[in-house]
Amino acid sequence: MKGILDSMNRLIQSDAKKQHKNLLMLLETSVTFEGVETFDTDQIPSLLCVKLVNGWSLPIIILTCIVLLSQVFQRTKLTTCPKVEYVYVTIRRATMTLWHEVEDKCKWLETTLESSAYEGKTPTDIIKLFAYKAEEIVSEFNTSNHGKLVEKDNLPPKVIIANSMYRISQTIIHTYESNNLEITEDELFTRLSGMIADILVACLTNIPRVITMRCHESTIEKREASVLAAIDLLGHTTMIIKRLETCELPNMDPDKMGFIDEWRLHLKQH
């Protein structure tokens, strides 16, 4: 047992030298969890007949696409609970589809994210362009489906991604217009960076819970790999965990903290 403990400690210490410095700098910009609630609003009419759940990663990547901050997720992997309902698996697959497209091609659903393509355009122009493109994709899907009700689990990743982009970009426009504010580049950058940080902080509060779950893998054939994954996660996130210990977390059921929609519901009620 002592040999195993020493081995685990060496792995943790080795991984601790590989902290996500850029992510830590971003997390310092999060003061509250306001962005978790405000990245989407119920005042935006749905384009789909079904209401989709939110995942942690998708809104972060969508916000990043809008502000053209690909560095945020090129160097990080978000923490989610190992076992989730199937409907969240569908969202996760769509998220990974977008993740790879942005990372490998610097595109969002075949729309370039290269800054040179947006020269001369205002932040308002860019956001409305994303919103229009997203609405166009979902409308084409609805038309081709002849108005038939489609189960959430059967929605194409492209439609899930477009729906999320539409809701988030329209929420941004609605927020500025309802407050009679002009969308300036610096202010938008600060606002969206804060939202990204807020969502990341809320998501990463689940790290200790995920580590514990991985250490309690019941299937003996998977237990060793699961524990090693937990150790690797702990080593890479020691500084993040210390940063999170300074946050004042909402008084939520721990089992609900793994889901962003539960956070949003709690924040709305308080």
Is residue 23 included in any domain, yes or no?
A: no
Is residue 248 included in any domain, yes or no?
A: no
Domain that holds residue 104: 37-201
Is residue 231 included in any domain, yes or no?
A: no
pLDDT for 75 beyond 90: no
Lowest mean pLDDT among 91-95, 166-170, 214-218, 244-248: 214-218
Q: How confident is the model at residue 38 (pLDDT cuts 50, 70, 90)?
A: very high
φ, ψ (nearest 5 deg) of residue 168 = -70, -45
Is residue 166 included in any domain, yes or no?
A: yes
Is residue 142 included in any domain, yes or no?
A: yes
Mean pLDDT of 51-66: 87
Is residue 239 included in any domain, yes or no?
A: no
Contact 255, 261 (CB under 8 A): no
The Cα 169–Cα 183 span in angstroms is 12
At 13, which amino acid appears? Q
Is residue 53 included in any domain, yes or no?
A: yes
Q: How confident is the model at residue 39 (pLDDT cuts 50, 70, 90)?
A: very high
Number of domains in the chain: 1
